[in-house]
Structures are given as structure tokens and as C-alpha cells.
Chains A and B, each alone.
Chain A
Amino acid sequence: MAIATPRVRLPAIAKKGDIIEIKTLISHDMESGQRRDSAGVVVPRKIIKLFEAQFNGRPVFSADWNPSVSANPYQSFFARVEESGTFEFAWTDDDGTVTKTTAKITVA
């Protein structure tokens, strides 16, 4: 699985001060470093170790992930929105690769 594909779900419109739920999912094996392949050799650890969410450049939520996080990690959390803007999401792999996506919300 070379390319991690992120998916993000949140409302497109909210009222000022609303607390919205954000659900995220990314395709990734989250290879724990515990598993052995068919030849009995330990498969090296390769996980996403950090997830970060920002809104208009300000941190909202982050998570440090370890090998006990399931494959294709799902992460939900909340955000209080006071203005229209853009959420930025970033997943950082053990190998330094950062997968990013964004989502806009209109606050009336």
C-alpha cells in the first residue's frame, strides 16, 4: 500500500459557535512490527505516528499513534467553529511521508 488515501467527513455549513463532529479515515496497513511473514521473518514496523487537525492555521486536535492502532486508522473528534474557513488534516508516517487533505466549512 504505497499511497495512503485520506477521507474526511464534516458538515459543509454550521452556525457560529457550533461544535461539529469530524470523522477521518486513512488507508494504511499500520504494520505493527510484531507480525511475521510467511517465511517467519518479522515485518518491520511502519505506521502513521501522528495525526494533526488545524482550522485556519490554529491547532484543534492531534493524536500520537502507536502500533496498537488498528489498520486503516479511523479518528473522530470535535471542533468549535466561530468563522468560515479551512480545516487542514495531516498524517505523518514513520518514514517521514506526510499525507494532507483539506475541507472547507461555511459558518453563517
Chain B
Amino acid sequence: MGDERLISRRQVLVVGGAVVALGQMVGRPARAAAADADINRILAGRTAKTTGLTLDVPSIAENGLVVPVNLSVASPMTATDYVRAIHLIAPENPVPLVASFRFTPASGRAATSMRMRLAQTQDIIAIAELSNNDVLIAKAEVKVTIGGCGG
């Protein structure tokens, strides 16, 4: 652990609360609340480390219909030390939880690539769950030129 920065569940809730407040100002509280519910359900009271999970997304996406995502955790992927799952969340999408990727030791490497839709510019969140019950979180902003939902 040492000097690794930690995000407590409380801090996530505080940030989430701020998002809810912002959402109410612009009339979209439901989506942010849905994303908070997803994050809290995944964390299940655990404290997430902010290192170890790589969330690779473009900083600018011209087309919100197809935004590439690369996710990875450096893990030995042995029977006793592996990544169970990585969850991908787009808080400002109509359905914020984009996907949950589930790994096994036979995966060999905890890495996956896919393509997602983004309704608008937002901070994408990824959460990894490890076999030792640790959780890792990463966040990255994607600026979206043309939204990819509802069109």
C-alpha cells in the first residue's frame, strides 16, 4: 500500500452526491443516481485503490456510437491471484453500466477491448475486482462530438 492513494467509499459517495446535485441543476438526476447505485453495488463497502487498473479511452470521440475501450490489470492470473471482473460505467448514458467482463485464471491476462456508445461528454469509470477481494478504480474523460444514444 504505502503511499498509494485510496478512495474510500465515503469519498465516492461524496463525489457521487456532487454529481447528483449537478444532475438536479440540469434536470438529469436519475442517470447519475443509477451510476452511483452501480458503483456502490460493485464496491460493496470496499475501499478502491486508484492504481493498477488501466482504462484506455480516446480523450476525444468524434462519433459517440463507436468509442474504443481498452481495459487491463497487471496480474499473474494464477489460481490464487487473479482478476475476477472489470466493470465499465458511463454515468451519463441512459443505462450507465456498459458491461461487466469476467475473467478466470485460464484467461492468462486480465485485458479486454471492446467498443461502447456514449450519449455525451463524460468521465468514464472502470472498477476491477480481484480474487483477494481488492478493488481497483480508474476514471478517464471522453469528450464526445456527436452523441451515440437515442439518435
Interface residues of A (CB under 8 A from B): 19-20, 32, 34-36, 55, 58-71, 73-80
Contacts and interface: CB of A to CB of B under 8 A. Distances in A.
Contacts of B44: none
Interface in B68-121: 77, 90, 93-109, 111-118
A19 B116 contact: no
Given A62-B102, A69-B99, A70-B66, A32 B117 contact: yes
A70 B97 CA distance: 13
A80 B110 CA distance: 11
B107 A79 contact: yes
B150 interface: yes
B95 A68 contact: yes
Interface of B: 65-67, 77, 90, 93-109, 111-118, 148-151
B94 A70 contact: no
B99 A65 contact: yes
28 contacts: A19-B108, A34-B150, A36-B150, A60-B106, A60-B107, A61-B102, A61-B103, A63-B101, A63-B102, A63-B112, A64-B99, A66-B99, A67-B95, A68-B90, A68-B98, A69-B99, A69-B114, A70-B117, A73-B115, A75-B112, A76-B114, A77-B101, A77-B107, A77-B112, A78-B107, A79-B108, A80-B107, A80-B108
A58 B106 contact: yes
A73 B117 CA distance: 11
